[in-house]
Amino acid sequence: MINPKIAISGEILKEDYLLSSPYPNIVLSDFLDHTVLSMCEYESKNLSKNMDSERWRFNDPDFHDNQVLKHGISNIEHMTPMLYAVSHYMNSPSFIGFLRKLTGIEDLIGDPSLSGGGLHITEAGGKLGIHHDFTDHVINGVKYKRHVNLLIYLNQDWSEEWGGNLELWSPDLSKMVKKLPIKFNNAVIFNIDNAPHGHPDPLACPPGESRRSLAYYYYSKEKTKHDFKRAWWLENGKYA
């Protein structure tokens, strides 16, 4: 379902991931199989243009000062066929095995409930302020810590002038360190531990257009061990 060259490269990409600034992150281009991607793009675009008639699929609106005109589908049973299939795959043992190699988090697990994740659609004028993500989550009655985000962009014809770039900020919020453009079939993976991010400027896309992505979150029982591993690698130039 993902590019096979990426699927076998978790260990190879780990150093690039862990050493990226301002916190572990990586952008993987050509991420999904092209047939899968085209169907996801079609389904997400159709949903964005028919939100009134498809309202039953969407979460209750959660608009506030830092999250404007953002809609989501987190119930996997409410997804359209290919979005459903991709969401299952992103929580499969084979894909989580890839993420464990990439991030070095050996006990990483997925979240089949897609709490806060799934399909995200942000309308013209919408934004997501710079923020820290929630970290505590209960899966099957067990408490976990969220550590990794995965975003997949589904806009084939997005113009740079419309904004919406993902901004990664320094942990102390003193400056923006990296701006990642929306690019069709790019996947962005990053650790969320002390990792402020967002797209804080209102989208300048035309009415009827929207910023569309898939979001998946991953967890482990460990709270701080992964930060210590990253610090060791930064100091020694290799992983322990």
For 137-185, what is each residue's pLDDT tens digit? 888 888 899 999 999 999 999 999 999 999 999 999 999 999 999 999 9
H runs (alpha helix) in 27-180: 34-49, 81-89, 93-103
Domains of the chain: 4-55+66-236 (2.60.120.620)
Q: What is the pLDDT of residue 134?
A: 82
User: Is pLDDT larger for residue 66 or for residue 189?
Assistant: 189
pLDDT of residue 232: 52
Counting residues of the chain whose pLDDT is more than 70, the rounded percentage is 92
When the pLDDT of each residue in the chain is averaged and rounded to a whole number, the result is: 92
How high is the pLDDT of residue 65? 85
How high is the pLDDT of residue 216? Answer: 98
pLDDT in tens, 78-135: 999 999 999 999 999 999 999 999 999 999 999 999 999 999 999 999 999 999 988 8
- Calculate helix-pair angle for 34-49, 81-89, nearest 10 degrees: 130
